[in-house]
Amino acid sequence: MRRIIPFVFVAAALSLAVMWHGSITALAQEGVRVADGIIAGVTANEAGELESFALLNAEGDIIEVEVRGGETPTQYGLESQAGDRWVSNQAENPVESAQRLRDHQQRFAPVTVRIENGIALSVVERESGRLETNLGFLFAVFAITWGAFFAYIFYVSRKQRDLQRDVTLLRNAMKRTAGQQNESRREP
Amino acid sequence: MKSILHPSNFLLWATAGLMGLTLWMVFLWVPTETNQGAIQRILYFHVPVAWVSMVAIIIVAIGSVAYLVTKNEKWDRLAAATAETGLVFGALMLLSGMIWARPVWGVWWTGEAKLTTALILFFIYVAYLMFRAYFPPGAQRQRLAAIIGVIGAIDAPIIYYAANLWAQAHPPIVVGPAAGAEGSLAADIGTTLMVATLAFTFLFIYIVMERIRVRTTEDEVTELRRQAGALEGAAG
């Protein structure tokens, strides 16, 4: 069992070293904030047209975002659970926008929102932004996975060693006891 | 010295080789997934450990049924060793899933069907092992533990089909008989996932074999203690 410990150790060290290697940065347009998260609430008017929504980001903050129609409407690129992509904007489909965001809210489906002065420029399926944050989570998973395997294999290995020692001690003790019995039988 | 073709050695080298290949594929070969970014790489560890933890409870059930039918101790050892290893993999399944969920869903945990059934599986392993630890040794303990193992296995297919039965937040099934067309993976991602699954399955088999060896030694120690006690009693 102890033979596997070096392999686990090397695998853990390699995976962690590869993750630390290099840095990845994501650039955003100046003045435009990019936020990832899940939809925490949707507000629509009496006609069912989307007015605003709340975004819950990875830090647990709720960001209130309004949408706009007009000449430069909020753009949408959202996928259904089956993977069909719906592309539209607030001016063309304000009612369906609300329905789509509610569907995302129910499914906890993550979205990426580009925000300028509290107004959403676009709401799309989550993109690969915030890579540096993601790497922290990836690092945590690998550290825990390899740490747990290492600890468990070490525990099993130690236990086997202790048991083997017990077996040897017990066998020796039994041999001694049997020898003493034989000697006492020989004595008149 | 054992030959490299000895099952124990073969498994060790195969596991080491596959783990190395998995790491190379996960970090250097497979492209970054466009929607989730780097964190999607957790999938290559989360899915294999989840697969192994579900297979483990089925092996516990098979070992338990075989013990109940044959009363052969080796089946009980297989079930107990697999349950303990399954608990480790089950814990890693939950932890890796939670760490993936935090940045993607924004929450560590939600009462979603697949997550809840996976948590139940973890508790089944805990219950099985606690029962074995606290109940007095003997045939009755083994019989009752076997019954827990058999009942626990019912949870495995429920976990697998949960994403289809109750379509909620968890991504749809991407491998196996229930994977739909929408769940099909890109070739690179699918290949990496398969290699990673194979690597963790080999690691699981190796650990279970070693754990069975420990259990056999434990039984040997118990028997030797009994014999030593009898011998001393006869001498005294």
Q: What is the pLDDT of residue B39?
A: 81
The whole-number average pLDDT for the span A99-105 is 89
For residue B212, give every residue at least 6 positions away whose Cβ sits within 8 Å of its Cβ, in sequence order, or none.
B77, B78, B81
The yes-or-no verdict on residue B22 having pLDDT over 70 is: yes
The answer to whether A19 contacts B227, with C-beta atoms less than 8 Å apart, is no
> pLDDT per residue over A126-151, tens digit each?
754 454 456 788 888 888 888 888 88
Q: What is the pLDDT of residue B88?
A: 94
- CB atoms near residue B3 (< 10 Å): 7
Helix (H/G/I), strand (E/B), else coil: A76: strand
A-chain CB neighbours of B218 within 8 Å are 163
Given a contact cutoff of 8 angstroms between Cβ atoms, the answer to whether A67 and A45 are in contact is no
Its pTM stands at 0.68
> pLDDT per residue over A37-86, tens digit each?
888 889 999 999 999 999 887 777 788 999 998 888 898 888 887 777 78
A-chain CB neighbours of B106 within 8 Å are 37-38, 40, 56-58, 60, 108, 110
> pLDDT per residue over B38-92, tens digit each?
788 888 999 999 999 999 999 999 999 999 999 888 999 999 999 999 999 999 9
What's chain B's average pLDDT?
A: 84
Given a contact cutoff of 8 angstroms between Cβ atoms, the answer to whether B65 and B150 are in contact is yes
- Binned at pLDDT 50, 70 and 90, residue B169 comes out as low
The answer to whether B169 contacts A14, with C-beta atoms less than 8 Å apart, is no
Q: What is the pLDDT of residue B125?
A: 92
Given a contact cutoff of 8 angstroms between Cβ atoms, the answer to whether B159 and B114 are in contact is yes
Residue among B33, B106, B221 whose CB faces A163 most closely: B221
Helix (H/G/I), strand (E/B), else coil: A89: strand
The whole-number average pLDDT for the span B130-152 is 86
Q: What is the pLDDT of residue A88?
A: 86
The whole-number average pLDDT for the span B209-215 is 91
The answer to whether B27 contacts A18, with C-beta atoms less than 8 Å apart, is yes
Residue to test with chain A: of B6, B13, B207, most A Cβ within 10 A: B207
The whole-number average pLDDT for the span A86-94 is 87
Going by the DSSP 8-state scheme, the letter that residue A85 receives in this structure is E
A-chain CB neighbours of B217 within 8 Å are 160, 163-164, 167
Instruction: Give Cα B35 to chain centroid, integer Å.
Output: 29
Report the range of poorest mean pLDDT among A18-27, A170-179, B60-69. A18-27
The yes-or-no verdict on residue B175 having pLDDT over 70 is: no
The yes-or-no verdict on residue B114 having pLDDT over 80 is: yes
Given a contact cutoff of 8 angstroms between Cβ atoms, the answer to whether B204 and B89 are in contact is yes
Share of chain B above pLDDT 90, in %: 34
- The answer to whether the complex's ipTM is over 0.85 is no
The whole-number average pLDDT for the span A92-97 is 90
- Binned at pLDDT 50, 70 and 90, residue A122 comes out as confident
Q: What is the pLDDT of residue A104?
A: 87
The yes-or-no verdict on residue A25 having pLDDT over 50 is: no
A-chain CB neighbours of B231 within 8 Å are 174, 177-178, 181
Q: What is the pLDDT of residue A27?
A: 34
Q: What is the pLDDT of residue B29?
A: 85
The yes-or-no verdict on residue B195 having pLDDT over 90 is: yes
> pLDDT per residue over B218-227, tens digit each?
888 988 888 8
Q: What is the pLDDT of residue A11?
A: 64
B-chain CB neighbours of A140 within 8 Å are 99
Given a contact cutoff of 8 angstroms between Cβ atoms, the answer to whether B117 and B168 are in contact is no
- Going from the C-alpha of A164 to that of each of A94, A161, B9, the distances in angstroms are 73, 5, 20
For residue A77, give the H/E element and its range: strand A75-79
Given a contact cutoff of 8 angstroms between Cβ atoms, the answer to whether A63 and A34 are in contact is no
For residue B168, give every residue at least 6 positions away whose Cβ sits within 8 Å of its Cβ, in sequence order, or none.
A107, A108, B112, B113, B114
What's chain A's average pLDDT?
A: 78
The yes-or-no verdict on residue A6 having pLDDT over 80 is: no
The whole-number average pLDDT for the span A6-21 is 61
- Going from the C-alpha of B134 to that of each of A92, B65, B141, the distances in angstroms are 66, 22, 9
Q: How many CB pairs under 8 A join A and B?
A: 158
Which B residues, 153 through 172, put their C-beta within 8 Å of a C-beta on chain A? 167-169, 172
Say if B28 is an interface residue toward chain A (CB within 8 Å).
yes
Task: Look at A31 and B122; give whichever has higher pLDDT.
Answer: B122
The yes-or-no verdict on residue B159 having pLDDT over 60 is: yes
Q: What is the pLDDT of residue B157?
A: 84
The whole-number average pLDDT for the span A75-99 is 85
